Amino acid sequence: MKFLHYLLFIINITQVEVYFIQNQYKPICDNCKFFIPNKNECRKFGEVNIITGKYSYESVISVRNDEDKCGEYAFLFEKNNFKFITIPYYFLLENGKLIFILSYNFFPFILWYIFTK
């Protein structure tokens, strides 16, 4: 009889929807194609320095807080269909030098370690 009570409890728990989490149905900037993950900036809103030619973008927080730009409900949101490419790209952009140093300087040591065991 106790098993039946537990079973009914588990069935009822799985059917409960989560209403107390705020902003769960709003678009997330991390899934937008204009989001720059390593800097938390939006590629949609920026400017070019006339002298150096470098781009400077606005932070995601300021863009989402400004209703004239993207706003709270992300009116300019576009889904990133190539996230499987952009995530490794920004990872290599940040850590490429470290990976290069570790792969070439320690390669002989790694071979020695493997073949001496």
Instruction: Report the 3 state secondary structure along the chain.
Output: CHHHHHHHHHHHHHCCCCCCCCCCCCCCHHHECCEECCCCEEEEEEEECCCCCCEEEEEHHHHHHCCCCCCCCCCCCCECCCHHHHHHHHHHHHHHHHHHHHHHHCHHHHHHHHHHC
- The pair phi, psi for residue 44, each rounded to 5°, is -75, -30
Dist. CA 15–CA 17, nearest whole Å: 6
pLDDT, position 6: 66
Is 104 a residue whose pLDDT tops 70? no
pTM given for the model: 0.61
Q: Over the stretch 40-76, which tens digit does the pLDDT of each residue have?
A: 999 999 999 999 999 999 999 999 999 999 988 888 9
Quick: pLDDT tens for 1-35: 666 666 666 666 555 555 667 777 888 888 899 99
